[in-house]
Structure formats: structure tokens, C-alpha cells
Structure 1
Amino acid sequence: MRTNTEKLLKKLEQRAGWDAVAAVTIVLRLAHEKGDQEGAHRAGRSLYRLLLMMAVTSSAYWIAPEVFAYFIHFIFPLAATSVVAYDLHHDAMWQRTQWLYEMVLEHEDEGRPLAGFGADTRRLRHVFSHKYGFDLMFGFAPRLKHVAPEVEESKRRPLANVQVLWNWAEGVLAQGRREPIFSKRLVHK
């Protein structure tokens, strides 16, 4: 069952803009202040997506690196749990913004717009799910890191497995290719 906060975050992601970024930042801050680490982490993921989408659908494109740097330094640390924190870098976010922008333009050229300038981002947000392929889902996903260096194996292994998928997807996107399904060879490494 979805909570009201999850429904709110989804609605805000469907209309990426400064108001949505401000609202999700407030949700993240309130969850952090209440000690709701999971809620703050979910809001952080939503905020990350919003920042990328807003950068490609608004006039924020050219100031995106500075906006990313601010959020990475001051806001995303509030979204850490006792196990993981966001491991974001403004250069990497800027690269993902460029890939997302190219994708938006390609879809527009094909007559299948994902979003337009200042438009509804319902379709664009699906890029962050499996609906457009695992290459995009993992390639555009925010990176995570362990909070403490000594993490037990059961908590370290899942993040290590996801790291393999992040690296694969990033390589696919960096080459300008699409590979919606990863190979079995990758999974068994």
C-alpha cells in the first residue's frame, strides 16, 4: 500500500519544476527532522529525479551544475539512512542531464515526446523505471555508498551487485547505445 507521502512524491515528479523541487525538499527535511530515515531517503530519490527532469524541461538547464552542487552539499546528506547515503557528484549529474536531454530531443524528433519545455513530466519520469529498459533505469539512478566502512556482508553484497549494474548502464549510455536488457554474463559476475 502506498503512503500519502509516496503518492505526493509521485504527483510532484509528474510536474517537474521549481515548486515541485521546493515541495520535495520540504518533505525530505521534515522526514529527516522526524528521524524517518526511509522517508527521507525516498524523498531524496524523488528529488534527484526532479532535478534531472527540471534541468531538461525548464530554463534551469544552464545553471543545473550549480543547482546540483548546492543540493549535493546541503540537501542530499539529510537523506542518508543508517546504512547508505547518496553518493552524488555534480559532474555525473550534469552528464546524466545531457543524456536525458538528448533522449528527450530524440523522442521529440520521432514524434513521441517525453516532455516539452515546462510541460507535464508523467512520461519522462518512466525513464527512471524499468519501462524504458534497465540500461536507463540503472544509468539514471542515483549512486549510493555505505555510511560506515565496516558493513556486514549481508548489507554490503546488495549494493555491490547494484554497483555492477550501475557501471554497465553508465557504459551503455556513455557510448550512446541502448541495451534495455542486461546479459546473463553480467548478472553472474
Structure 2
Amino acid sequence: MAQTLSLLRRAARYIRPMLLVAVLVGAALAWNDAALRQRIGLPMPAGEQVTAGFALCDAPGYAPNCVVDGDTFRIASRRIRVQGIDAPERDGRCDAERELARRATADLLAWLERGPFLMLPADQAGHDRYGRELQTVWREAADGSRDDLGDHMRRIGSARRYDSRAKVDWC
């Protein structure tokens, strides 16, 4: 019994620092991941305010700020993918998916056009494999509540939670 206690005490000397390092690494990752920060209730960093108007990217004329589809938009030369959602594809496999994509694109445009919103500063956003900024996009109300774009798009049925392991079947 004494031998077991001695062994546990020696192991604890090594385990405690490793646990502390794991907690600190986890906290650093949470601090830099806006979606995770929001889920666990950490405050969001100061956001970049966007006040620009938007149009559809395929509308006639030139629109530097435009909506590509239900989860992607542009601000000048920046291509932005809304973090955590997947919307139907405009060139989808069936008529139902293409129709849902048109609706999702219109819903994203409507949300962006409701007025100024916030995003993470560009240097704090990750990037996807296509080079698009992965952005958490939100509005803050006077009472301190948040209107998160990804949550809004999921709530109205225009997008689903993004899962990199499975492709969503919209048909």
C-alpha cells in the first residue's frame, strides 16, 4: 500500500504540470476560435464593423460587395465564408437543391442588407482550403444580445451546421 501511494505521489508531480499546460492550450485555442468562444460564453473580441451595402454577385453591373451564395459573400477583394454553416449549392444535383440555394442566397443578402454588422478582424479569421476567410458574422443589439448570421441561417432552414466529414444531401 505504501509503495502504491509513493508511486501515485511521484506520478502526480508530472501529471499536474501536464494538466496545467493542457488547460492553458485549450484556453488559448478557445480564445482564438470565435464560434467556440460564443458557445462557452467567453466575450467576443472587438469586431470589424461593416457598413457597406450588398448586391448579388451575378446581378448586372459591378458590385464590389456582393453575395455569392448562401454561405459566401465578398467585400471588395475579400472572399468570406460564414463559419460553421453549409448552404445548398447553386449548381446542385437536383432542382430542389438549386431552388433552396436561390432562397439561401436571398436570405443571406437580406440579413447583410439589414444594416451594419460585425466580423472578426481579417487577421484573426482562419481560411478554408479555397482561401476564403472563415468568419463569424454578427450584430449586437442595444440590450447586449447577439444576432449571429450562422445561427440565423440555420434557424430559418437556409443552411445546416457544417460537418467536414459528411456532405449534406439537399435533394
Same fold (TM over 0.5): no
Bigger radius of gyration: 2
Give TM-score, length-normalised by structure 1: 0.22
Q: Higher strand fraction: Structure 1 or Structure 2?
A: 2
Give TM-score, length-normalised by structure 2: 0.24
